[in-house]
Amino acid sequence: MNELSPDEGRREGRSGRLAEKRREAALTKRIELRNRLRSGAHWFYWIAALSVVNSIVVLSHGEWSFFIGLGVTQVVDAIALSIVEEAPDLKTIATASAILINLVAVTLCAVFGVLASRRKAWAFWVGMVLYALDGLLFLAVGDFLSLGFHVFALICIFNGVRALGELERLGPIADSEVEAEAGAS
């Protein structure tokens, strides 16, 4: 038998505790990164959902809206409303067209959220570029509050893609280990 001296036993015990602390720290870091990734990806869902609410309110002649939504849906809604004012007999066609176009825009936004949640970096990047272009609509009309919110949302989405990059650099780990650690905390 190979027995350890008391000094060797203490060193081995310390190194074992140190290894366990490092493992716990690595898992904690992964959990934090996964949460940041999800948070960034979920911004696409919020943008899509609130754009739908904005369109419903505007197309039903409401007096308020969220500044978080897509600019393109607001432009489409404004065009539909102006068509209805100029040609009331086109109300059904204008409203249905606006709903269809808005549905495409918000569905695309939600799809970016789904794909970003599935760790597709390209979905984050393409979604951010399109959302930045959408923000330029607010710049064009001088709506700086909505533009500022676009910038804020883009920063939050960017934090998600940055977390994805950090997770990829850390390399693969069994999700069951991360889930087990997340459940324990």
Each residue's pLDDT tens digit, 68-82 = 789 999 999 989 999
pLDDT in tens, 122-138: 999 999 999 999 999 99
- For residues 77 and 55, the answer to whether their CB atoms sit within 8 Å is yes
What is the arithmetic mean of pLDDT over 139-154? 94
According to the model, what pLDDT value does residue 23 have?
83
Q: What integer pLDDT is reported at residue 12 of this predicted model? A: 58
Domain ranges of the chain: 6-170
Coil, strand or helix at 128: helix
**Average pLDDT of the segment spanning 12-27:** 76
This prediction's pTM: 0.79
What's the confidence (pLDDT) of residue 64? 74
Helix axes 71-86, 91-117, angle to 10 degrees: 170
Model confidence at 178: pLDDT above 60: no
Q: Which of 68, 66, 168 is nearest to 109 (CA)?
A: 68
- For residues 182 and 150, give the distance between their C-alpha atoms in angstroms, rounded to a whole number: 31
Please name the residue ranges forming H helices in 60-174. 71-86, 91-117, 121-141, 144-170
Residue 60 binned pLDDT confidence (cut-offs 50, 70, 90): confident
Q: From residue 60, how far is each of 15, 55, 56, 95, 151 by CA, in Å?
A: 67, 8, 6, 10, 29
Given this model, what pLDDT does residue 3 score? 62
Tell me the per-residue pLDDT of 84-106, one tens digit each, with 9 for 90 and over. Answer: 999 999 999 999 999 999 999 99
pLDDT band at 185 (very low <50, low <70, confident <90, very high): very low
Least confident among 39-53, 54-68, 69-83: 54-68
